[in-house]
A and B are shown apart, each in its own frame.
Chain A
Amino acid sequence: MSTARAGKCMSTARAGKGMSTAAQRQHHRPLHGLWLSFRVFLGHYRRAPLQAGAILLGVILSVVLLTAVKSINENARSSYREATAPLSSRAAFTLLPAGGKAYLDDEVYFRLSRQGLKLMPRLNGVMTDDSGRRFYLDGIDIIAATSIAASYTSTSAPGTSTPAPGTGPASPLSANLDLGSLLTGAPVLLLSQSQLEKVSAKGALKLKGQAIELIGLDDALGLGSATVADLAFAKQALELPHSLSSIEVLDNIPLETFKQQLSAAGIDESSLDILQGDNGAALTELSGSFHLSLKAMGLLAFVVGLFIAYNGVRYSLMKRTRLLLQLRQLGVGQRELLGALVLELMLMVIFGAAIGFALGLWLGQGLMPLVSMTLEQVYGARLLPGHWRPGWFIEAFGLSAAASLFACIPLMARLVATPLASGRHQAANQGFDVKMQRLQLFAAAALLLLALIITLFEPGVSQYLREQQLTRLLPLYSLGLIALVTLAAPLLLPSLLARLPALFGKSGVIRPGLGQYLIAELKVLAPPMSLAMMAMLLALSANIAMTTLVVSFEGTLKVWLNQRLHADIYLRPGDSHMPQVMATLENDSRISASYRQYSSPALLNGMGEQQQTRFRLLARDSISVRETSTLKTFDAALWQAMQAGGRQILINEPMAQKLNLRLGQRLDITVGGKDVSLEVAGIFYDHGNQQLETLIEETLWQQLGLSPIPMSLALSCNGCDAEQLADTLAGELELSRAQIFSQQNIKKIAISMFGRTFEITASLGTLTLLVASIGLFSALSMLSASRENPLARLHALGVSRSELLLMSAAQMLLMVLATALLAIPVAWVLGYLLIHKVILLSFGWSLTMDWQWLPVFSAVGAALLSAALALAWPLWRQSRRPLIRSLQQEAN
């Protein structure tokens, strides 16, 4: 009735402009009809604002997570490129002590300076203040840093992205400092402002009775949680007057030239470990899969959001079927009508994308601490606070506009083109649905077949990729496998849902009456619900798979830690303290056994993608090697030879994976300036460690002439209170509590670090599920709303409201449960792929899959809850007004 009124309005509007020329105008101005229809549609939404709201909601949700993830990833990447710690990533080379030593001698720095090289000396370590608070000190030469930083800000290096204008100096060091007093070793620490507030809240800092001055620098300078001190003060605080942790060479010279200068300065090259700068490339690559998984999650949420928007469009079109027909009967052309619909959609996309974008940036900011925690813990990368770029908005808008047009135009075109005469489209629609289902089923089968083929050929292909030195393609390859499954699974759903009624119909349990109606209506409901259910399926299975991964990792890590940490107390006093500590502990009656661990960087020659591969060589005493190595595989003969003092080596799983190493293989290694050839005797698990690490026996270490001072000690004390003994020992040995740990302590730290590592993954998983629940809610409530008339018809025949509620609930339950039923195996497959392909291939850790039902039930529960809410609300609304109103509602 109201639509007829709208039609009348249109003709009076035209009449107002001059009756006689109305028809002519129609011809001359093809946009006229478009514009008029658009105004009629605006009127439609004015009467049904909820419909517009649903479409907007979908667009907003799809853009929010996409933008949040984008801002996080981009910020992380630019942080890798920018100086994270002051200047370090701009160094051409970084010099580290070789041969198992912890520190470089000051002398190296002086000699190299005399060669006219631009250098940045650095001393890091843990400082303990008088009240026992510990700080990780980053000691640098502030004078040098200030002058260098000034030259960098004026000639910002090309290729690196410059910070947005107005963000202040690029270096934390251009702040006004009293350089004179710094030089003399005055106790001054530089912290980021937020860190400063945290520290000073707990009272003033004192070192050996002397007050330490704290200077706060703007957070935007990116100090993060680091505490910067001048080298002079760092040497005092760490009691290392003649040591350096590293030296950064800032001149841009080739390696060969630098080596010549080394020998000219009379420095033995083999005493140094020379790291070449890569402008953040290593970090970018290392954390690549992390960012990829964030991106995947963002895209998933984007798709789920689009499902919601699409559902909204579909519903609003359905509600306008008659209106559209009437407009066309009044002479509005199909193209004009389509144009008006597209215009309407685009306006909503612009509006929604803008809101979603703002919310997304806000969410990205909120998630940033979690992300930087993860990145710092796992990859040692520090994040700078972010800047957003207008380009992101264009991208988000473009993506949602393109996707929504792609999804909606066929729908609109089909509706606009329905024949004018016929009032019955349902049969035609059903034919279309069946065709679609067949197509989807076919596509799903093809995708699954492809996935199966890939899985079957996986060993061969990954072998090939490794041989071709393309190991970095492996994670991509396995993510591709996941993508296939994620695409195929939802495509299976419509057919499953469509078969549901037949399943019950044949079973014979359905009696005529309401039960029969329930099943018959399910057939009609399934196609429009399929989309929302597909989105739900994706979110459910992604969420469950993620949880499975996290749970499995945690379980594996705990078991592994238990075996790995066999001693009660671990200490790491540093090179200068160690001999004294060892002597003191030798005859200590409280200690039943002590174990030693040595460590040195080393190079592996001729394996992997580069000529030389950097890794860490560890050595432990014989007992420790036997007790603490959790071997994945080993060669019995070689393992025995190794224990008998032979030239064998154990390698960690990531190393074996990444470099495709096998048992019995000979490795040519350069360590401490010497070349040795060692045989792989076994591969040990190294969960949570991304670095390449190897292990040899103490005797071999000594034979190789490497540093005789262990890097760390492990102590056993028969049945003692480890925590308490660690406390006592810290006092007796004058060690900071950061240098001595009980086993419990380490486990706690490892587990909590692990927890933080996965916090961001878990949060995003939950967000995705939330988005999907909202999606399900919006789809279901629209569906319920459009069922007002059919339900009213039943009610008019004497079916009570509680029966109606029960029936609708049963229908929703069936659909949600069918979806969940499909989601569970899909989640299992995804979890399996994540654990046995993605994690194994990208990190090299094999985890034991730990499938738990609790997360499954809670995820399915969330889906059921949103379904229940969506169901209850329209029924409740209907119960509050006369039945006749519902009967008069336009039936679909």
Chain B
Amino acid sequence: MTPIVALAGIKKSFQDGSERHLVLDGLTLAIHGGETIALTGPSGCGKSTLLNLIAGFDTPDSGDIHLLGRLANDFTARDWDSFRRAELGMVFQQFNLLDPLDVRANIHFPLALNGKPWNGWCDTLISRLGLSELLSRPIDSLSGGQQQRVAIARALAQRPPLLLADEPTGNLDEQSGDEVMALLTSLARESNTAILMVTHSERCAAFMQRRWHLSGGRIAEREQHRQANV
């Protein structure tokens, strides 16, 4: 079975003043359909950078990225567009919601881009994420946690085969965090969605099947201690 995401020998560095600062150093990984992975690591180790590379927001210095069996290094702008539009759901560390639109329009946006109407799954999402009361609110009137839940709903709206989430529960209390985790795992089960989730929380990491640790620019697999307590 071809993995949804396969990275091989990825190097990525940033210019920091006069010197270059190597963040990812020959990183290799593979994610298969329906797999759920927690990505941990110290702050500034390159977790967000890794997600950005997979999503095509940035390009590696060297190394190959395969998405859905195709070499993404050769993707045209149009390939990236359709990949993001149809295959990818992304929860950003800074949410990146569309400010001019209200909550409902934000959640509906990925579906609308593909010409699909608001559906029952959207209703399920908003009620499970506790957003029903907020649907017509403008984005900038929401609290950080509320914005985060909207971002999650938006990412899940069209049940993408791949979900990249950058600390999706960072702003949430334990109970809402657990609800989000339950949602993610059930989505992975029902729609065979692969999930790569950055988290600092042990509690959230425990919901995922696998756990990766990023340090020194590479990934190390860790033993998953507890199984999901759904």
Spell out A's residues near B (CB within 8 Å): 424, 426-427, 511-514, 516-517, 520-521, 523-524, 790, 793-794, 796-801, 882-884, 887, 891
Given contacts A424-B140, A427-B141, A798-B113, contact A520 B105 (CB under 8 A): yes
* Alpha-carbon gap, A882 to B59, bound state (A): 7
Q: For residue B52, which residues in chain A have a CB less than 8 angstroms away from its CB? A: 884
Contact with A along B59-78 (1 / 0, CB 8 A): 10000000000000000011
- Contact A798–B82 (Cβ < 8 Å): yes
The residues in B between 30 and 68 inclusive whose CB is less than 8 angstroms from any CB of A are: 52, 55-59
B108 at interface by CB-CB < 8 Å: yes
Given contacts A796-B96, A800-B81, contact A512 B108 (CB under 8 A): yes
Q: For residue B110, which residues in chain A have a CB less than 8 angstroms away from its CB? A: 797-798
* Alpha-carbon gap, A800 to B97, bound state (A): 17
A127 to chain B, nearest CB (A): 76
Most-contacted residue by chain A among B56, B82, B108, B109 (CB, 10 A): B109
Of A511, A512, A882, which is within 8 A of B57 by CB?
Answer: A882
- Contact B105–A796 (Cβ < 8 Å): no
- Contact B101–A796 (Cβ < 8 Å): no
Cross-chain pairs A/B with CB under 8 angstroms, 12 sampled: A426-B140, A427-B141, A516-B105, A516-B112, A517-B109, A796-B55, A798-B81, A798-B84, A799-B85, A800-B81, A882-B58, A887-B96
Given contacts A793-B96, A882-B58, contact A800 B77 (CB under 8 A): yes
B92 to chain A, nearest CB (A): 8
Given contacts A512-B108, A796-B90, A798-B82, contact A883 B56 (CB under 8 A): yes
Of A524, A796, A801, which is within 8 A of B99 by CB?
Answer: A524
In the complex, residue of chain B having the shortest beta-carbon distance to the beta carbon of A516: B105
* Alpha-carbon gap, A424 to B139, bound state (A): 11
7 nearest A-B pairs in the assembled complex, by CB-CB distance: A798-B85, A513-B112, A798-B84, A520-B100, A521-B100, A800-B81, A884-B57
A-B contacts, CB under 8 A, total = 84
Q: For residue B92, which residues in chain A have a CB less than 8 angstroms away from its CB? A: 796, 887
Contact with A along B136-147 (1 / 0, CB 8 A): 001011000000
- Contact B113–A883 (Cβ < 8 Å): no
* Alpha-carbon gap, A512 to B101, bound state (A): 10
B6 to chain A, nearest CB (A): 21
* Alpha-carbon gap, A427 to B99, bound state (A): 12
Q: For residue B140, which residues in chain A have a CB less than 8 angstroms away from its CB? A: 424, 426-427
Of B59, B78, B84, B86, which is within 8 A of A796 by CB?
Answer: B84
Q: For residue B88, which residues in chain A have a CB less than 8 angstroms away from its CB? A: 798
B98 at interface by CB-CB < 8 Å: yes
Q: For residue B138, which residues in chain A have a CB less than 8 angstroms away from its CB? A: 427
Of B58, B84, B100, which is within 8 A of A797 by CB?
Answer: B84
Q: For residue A520, which residues in chain B have a CB less than 8 angstroms away from its CB? A: 100-101, 105
* Alpha-carbon gap, A188 to B140, bound state (A): 85
In the complex, residue of chain A having the shortest beta-carbon distance to the beta carbon of B115: A513
B103 to chain A, nearest CB (A): 12
Q: For residue B97, which residues in chain A have a CB less than 8 angstroms away from its CB? A: 793
- Contact B98–A517 (Cβ < 8 Å): yes
In the complex, residue of chain B having the shortest beta-carbon distance to the beta carbon of A879: B77
* Alpha-carbon gap, A517 to B109, bound state (A): 9
Most-contacted residue by chain B among A513, A516, A883 (CB, 10 A): A513
- Contact B109–A797 (Cβ < 8 Å): yes
* Alpha-carbon gap, A520 to B141, bound state (A): 16
Q: For residue B58, which residues in chain A have a CB less than 8 angstroms away from its CB? A: 882-884
A185 to chain B, nearest CB (A): 86
A890 to chain B, nearest CB (A): 11
Given contacts A427-B141, A884-B57, contact A798 B100 (CB under 8 A): no
- Contact B77–A517 (Cβ < 8 Å): no
Q: For residue B83, which residues in chain A have a CB less than 8 angstroms away from its CB? A: 798
Q: For residue A798, which residues in chain B have a CB less than 8 angstroms away from its CB? A: 81-86, 88, 110, 113
* Alpha-carbon gap, A573 to B99, bound state (A): 82
B99 to chain A, nearest CB (A): 7
- Contact A793–B98 (Cβ < 8 Å): yes
* Alpha-carbon gap, A800 to B81, bound state (A): 6
Q: For residue B90, which residues in chain A have a CB less than 8 angstroms away from its CB? A: 796-797
* Alpha-carbon gap, A523 to B56, bound state (A): 31
Besides A512-B112, A796-B55, A796-B92, 13 other A-B contacts (C-beta < 8 A): A513-B113, A513-B115, A514-B112, A516-B112, A523-B100, A790-B100, A793-B96, A796-B96, A799-B81, A800-B77, A883-B56, A883-B58, A887-B92
Q: For residue B78, which residues in chain A have a CB less than 8 angstroms away from its CB? A: 800
In the complex, residue of chain A having the shortest beta-carbon distance to the beta carbon of B52: A884
Q: For residue B100, which residues in chain A have a CB less than 8 angstroms away from its CB? A: 517, 520-521, 523-524, 790
A781 to chain B, nearest CB (A): 20
Q: For residue A891, which residues in chain B have a CB less than 8 angstroms away from its CB? A: 99
Of B55, B56, B86, B113, which is within 8 A of A514 by CB?
Answer: B113
Q: For residue B98, which residues in chain A have a CB less than 8 angstroms away from its CB? A: 517, 790, 793-794
In the complex, residue of chain B having the shortest beta-carbon distance to the beta carbon of A513: B112
Q: For residue B112, which residues in chain A have a CB less than 8 angstroms away from its CB? A: 511-514, 516
- Contact B99–A790 (Cβ < 8 Å): yes
The residues in B between 130 and 164 inclusive whose CB is less than 8 angstroms from any CB of A are: 138, 140-141
* Alpha-carbon gap, A801 to B84, bound state (A): 13
Q: For residue A427, which residues in chain B have a CB less than 8 angstroms away from its CB? A: 138, 140-141
A814 to chain B, nearest CB (A): 15
B211 to chain A, nearest CB (A): 26
Q: For residue A426, which residues in chain B have a CB less than 8 angstroms away from its CB? A: 99, 140
Q: For residue A512, which residues in chain B have a CB less than 8 angstroms away from its CB? A: 105, 108-109, 112, 118
